[in-house]
Amino acid sequence: MSLSSQEIIALADQSLLGNVTRLPLVLVRGQGLKVWDVEGRQYYDFIAGIATCAFGHCPDFEPGILYEQAQTLIHVSNLFYNKPMVLLAKLLTEATGLAKAFFSNSGAEANEAAIKMARKHSYDRHGPGRHVIVSALNSFHGRTMGAISATGQERFHQGFQPMLEGFKFVPFGDFSALAEALTPDVCAVLLEPIQGEGGVIAPPPDYLQKVSELAHSKDILLILDEIQTGLGRTGHDFAFKYYGAQPDILTLGKALGSGYPIGATLSAEEPSKALGPGTHSTTLGGAPLAMALALEFAKRILDPQFLAKVKATGQYFLKTLNSLKDQRPKDIQEVRGVGLIIGLELTRPAAPVVLALRDLGFLINAASSTVLRFVPPLTVSEEEIDLLAQALDAALARTA
């Protein structure tokens, strides 16, 4: 049955929960950076599933992995071992220097496991009363109750109160404020190396290293949420290495599945012991099909030559946007980011520019009311970046 975009959107309005504001596009096909809608219109996708599709849409190696694993074993549950899960755990623990891995279905679930692990570790080690987790204002850690309770943005809390008890928030990048917050009831610090949903905000260069050293000196765990920054997004395998920090618990998602649902919680040896049999699990996490895909994606992303290319492309992207900023100082306030997670702060609302770019055939989103966020596939080319810059220049002119 052939349906137009309008007909599909009308059906969606009838049957889908209205919890997301969607652009009126029905995408049906993708290849690399490009996607096409029902009517055959082409768009350059600089959202990439919100920093997820690391190799763009439908990379040529993906169908073979899906087919081979689907012909072999799709799901068995965590009551049994499966080879792809074990191999992926080995790869990620060796790459991060952490000891153990737990696989789930999303980044939010990965953060839930991290929160539980930190509190249980503290309980086992110190007894009750040492359960508070320090997070950052303007942070984002997911939509489940534990994850939004750890999220330092009031707009995500509205209507869902009371939040879970035991979280407190400090300004991101303010080391003195964080140090003051590490009272005797604190068991962990939970931070994003770069705040993605908060507007692509990077901390001072030495901030995470100082936080890491201070937390460890107080027997407090450091949890780093690298769901958006991990696995190549910054041009480094993991952002914590770029910033010189050492997490006790690390959470991953997005690029790890490159479009397939997956989350991972990696931990050092001691905190991992807190989640023994019966303390935490999931039915679908670690399923062979997801693990086989993620294993191949991770191998390719962690290749040093691939990471070097991402780093160089990110530098080119920043240089290109800064050149546009020089041409349009009345429109652009700041360009910021690391690798291929880039924010462009406007002097005016971002939403009209997002819509103008869509009309010009480019898909981006706003990470705050005035910040355009660019998180394209890690395989984006300099030529595609040039096309985006030209379109952005035109969109700014249209919406002035």
Burial 342-374 (b: 16+ CB within 10 A, else e): bbbbbeeebeebbebbbebebbbbbbbebbbbb
174 is catalytic: no
Cβ within 8 Å of residue 106, ≥6 positions away? 142, 253, 261, 262, 263
46 is catalytic: no
Reported as half-sphere exposure (CB side, CA atoms, 13 A), residue 147 has a value of: 17
**Which H helix or E strand runs over 92?**
helix 83-96
Catalytic residue, chosen from 100, 167, 225, 240, is 225
Q: Are the CB atoms for 233 and 258 separated by under 8 Å?
A: no
254 is catalytic: yes
Signed CA dihedral, 302, 308, 313, 315: sign only: positive
Catalytic residue, chosen from 55, 102, 140, 297, is 140
Q: Which long-range contacts (CB under 8 A, 24 or more apart) does 353-359 make?
A: 353/392, 353/395, 353/396, 353/399, 356/394, 356/395, 356/398, 356/399, 357/391, 357/392, 357/395, 358/23, 358/25, 358/43
Catalytic residue, chosen from 46, 167, 240, 254, is 254
Give the residue numbers marked as catalytic. 140, 225, 254
